[in-house]
């Protein structure tokens, strides 16, 4: 963030118009299915399909990526959310790449608003896995061991990419706010910031950082996810440098 309080653009990261076009980021939905609040981000229409204004997409990416970097530079957590079929693999890939949690199967109601219960489940899963890995389950009968293993698999299936989440995330990065309506509502109810790719058919009102773009095309989803992961990695690297510098100063004070 600069001295005027506006987020600096990382233009080196922002894709060109050609790159956005090649990814199909400009294709919206049928004009009959649009949402009026997306009007500022729509360039026009072609053959009954809205065309997204990619220069607006570039500007929005600049703000969103700067925000993601600033949050993670302070040690913040970003939760990737994309459960639609064409987003699932991409969400996992890039969340793993930048070391962030993700939801790519089904959003568990209360993930944010009832995190205490989610945290208890995560703790139980960790305890059972630790016991299994240390061979401590051998004290149980084979039937009991089988039941415990099934319980582990059940919890892993439910928790998925949030199995290591230790606290409520600072930001949600959502790929389709219509599809992830519950996640958006939970985030807004407890004041968590939301960055989201918004297609021409969505209401962007509750999104803090709107990235106008195609939220259905695999190439576009991958492009936006990669950019987010890169910004997050820059932020976490900056956080690590700051932590190391602080530790060095503390050591110097004691000598």
Same domain, residue pair 104 and 146: no
Higher pLDDT, 130 or 6: 130
Answer yes or no: is 84 within a domain: yes
33 with 102, same domain: the answer is: yes
Q: Give the domain-ending residue among 167, 185, 202.
A: 167
Q: What percent of the chain has pLDDT over 70?
A: 93
CB 100 within 8 A of CB 232: yes
Distance from C-alpha of 33 to C-alpha of 42, rounded to nearest angstrom: 13
Are residues 245 and 179 part of one domain?
Answer: yes
Task: Give pTM, 2 decimals.
Answer: 0.87
Of 240, 16, 135, 209, the C-alpha closest to 248 is 240
Q: What is the pLDDT of residue 158?
A: 84
The mean per-residue pLDDT over the stretch 190-215 comes to 95
Structure confidence at residue 3 (pLDDT):
37
The per-residue pLDDT of the chain, averaged, comes to: 90
In a domain, 7, yes or no: no
CATH code of the domain covering residue 152: 1.10.287
Asked, for residue 5, whether it belongs to a domain, the answer is no
Is residue 224 situated within a structural domain? yes
Instruction: Evaluate whether 199 touches 29 at the Cβ level (below 8 Å).
Output: yes
DSSP 8-state secondary structure symbol assigned to residue 179 = T
Neighbouring CB atoms inside 10 A of 253's CB total: 7
Phi and psi, residue 84, nearest 5°: -70, 150
CATH at residue 210: 3.40.50.10490
pLDDT the model gives residue 4: 39
Q: Please, which residues have CB within 8 angstroms of residue 107's CB and are 6 or more apart in sequence? A: 81, 83, 180, 182, 183
pLDDT grade, residue 9 (50/70/90)? very low
Number of domains in the chain: 2
| Within a domain: 40 | yes
The pLDDT of residue 2 is above 90: no
Q: What token pair was written down for 208?
A: 């803090």
Q: Name which of 247, 198, 197 is nearest 94 in CA terms.
A: 197
Is the same domain home to 104 and 192?
Answer: yes
How would residue 5 be classed by pLDDT, with cut points 50, 70 and 90? very low
Say whether both 99 and 127 belong to one domain: no
**Span 138-157, mean pLDDT?**
90
Rounded Cα distance, 112 and 110, in Å: 5
The torsion of the CA quartet 19, 179, 210, 3, rounded to 10 degrees, works out to -110
In a domain, 230, yes or no: yes
8 A C-beta contact, residue 169 and residue 195 = no
Q: What is the pLDDT of residue 83?
A: 94
Query: Which residues neighbour 246 within 8 Å (Cβ) at sequence distance 6 or greater?
Result: none
Residue 107 structural domain: 17-112+168-250
**Where do the DSSP E strands lie in the chain?**
27-30, 42-46, 49-52, 78-81, 102-103, 171-174, 193-198, 209-212
> How confident is the model at residue 255, as a pLDDT?
64
């Amino acid at each position: 963030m600069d001295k005027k309080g506006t987020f600096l653009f990382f233009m080196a990261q922002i894709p060109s118009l050609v790159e956005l076009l090649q990814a199909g980021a400009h294709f919206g939905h049928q004009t009959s299915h649009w949402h009026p609040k997306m009007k500022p981000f729509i360039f026009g229409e072609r053959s009954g399909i809205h065309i997204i204004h990619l220069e607006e997409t570039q500007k929005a990416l600049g703000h969103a990526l700067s925000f993601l970097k600033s949050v993670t530079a302070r040690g913040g957590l970003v939760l990737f959310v994309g459960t639609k079929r064409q987003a699932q693999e991409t969400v996992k890939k890039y969340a793993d790449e930048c070391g962030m949690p993700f939801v790519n199967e089904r959003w568990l109601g209360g993930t944010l608003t009832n995190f205490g219960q989610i945290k208890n489940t995560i703790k139980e899963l960790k305890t059972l896995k630790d016991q299994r890995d240390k061979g401590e389950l051998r004290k149980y009968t084979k039937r009991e061991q089988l039941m415990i293993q099934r319980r582990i698999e059940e919890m892993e299936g439910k928790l998925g990419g949030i199995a290591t989440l230790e606290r409520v995330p600072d930001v949600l990065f959502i790929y389709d706010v219509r599809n992830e309506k519950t996640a958006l509502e939970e985030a807004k109810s407890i004041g968590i910031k939301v960055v989201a790719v918004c297609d021409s058919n969505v209401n962007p009102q509750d999104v803090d950082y709107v990235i106008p773009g195609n939220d259905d095309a695999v190439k576009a989803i991958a492009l936006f996810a990669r950019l987010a992961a890169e910004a997050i990695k820059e932020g976490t690297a900056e956080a690590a440098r700051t932590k190391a510098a602080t530790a060095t100063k503390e050591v110097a004070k004691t000598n």
